[in-house]
Amino acid sequence: MAATRTPPTSWIEEGLRALAAGGPDAVRIESLAQALGVTKGGFYGHFDDRGTLLEAMLDRWERMLIDDVIERVEGEGEEDARATLRQLFSLASSSDARELMRIELAVRDWARRDKAVAKRLRHVDNRRMEYMRPLFGAFCADDDDVEVRCLLGLSLFAGSHFVAADHGARSRAEVVELALKRLLE
């Protein structure tokens, strides 16, 4: 009977978990093999080296955070731009998105030290902005207003996790909801 090989997606997913937990230095072939319960020899059947795995992980991150999200939002069949944006922001703040946010924050931190990752992050953020522009443009006539709302939406998604401020009697979730309401006015 032939041995069952660990698929490349398992290596990629485990690599993303390691990245989220400890940054790019935590993505080590030996550690991933141990976490998967396999030998590291199987890794080389799928990837040339660690760099190839890291690139595949960034590809998967982009698909999860852009393509999969857009597919889910578009799958809702919302015809109103505000409803589509509400769905987009709802997905971004869902409990399903928590693990993705850990990966997102790890990639953003990694991009501070690696020019190639910074270039990839810029590409992903530009894709996000490109997706939101026509949605905000559907109810904002002013191009400046559209650009500001896109930046604020993206900043709220990526940046609110870095803010440690209290909000008086309001929870963070309530304040984020208020901010999103304002963006959609």
Rg (CA), the chain: 19
Q: Which residues, at least 6 apart from 15, have a Cβ–Cβ distance to it below 8 Å? A: 27, 32, 53, 54, 56, 57
* pLDDT of res. 4: 53
Residue recorded with tokens 């190839």: 52
Q: How many CB atoms sit inside 10 A of residue 55's CB?
A: 14
Please say whether the beta carbons of 22 and 14 come within 8 A.
no
Whether the per-residue pLDDT at 83 is higher than 70: the answer is yes
Cα–Cα dist 133/146, whole Å: 6
Q: Which residues, at least 6 apart from 38, have a Cβ–Cβ distance to it below 8 Å? A: 6
Is this prediction's pTM over 0.85? yes
Encoded tokens for 9: 């997606």
Please say whether the beta carbons of 64 and 122 come within 8 A.
no
153 Cα distance to chain centroid: 14
Q: pLDDT of 92-134, one tens digit each?
A: 877 677 888 899 999 999 999 999 999 999 999 999 999 999 9
More confident residue, 69 or 95: 69
Nearest to 87 by CA among 101, 98, 76, 79: 76
Q: pLDDT of 168-180, one tens digit each?
A: 999 988 998 899 9
* pLDDT of res. 93: 75
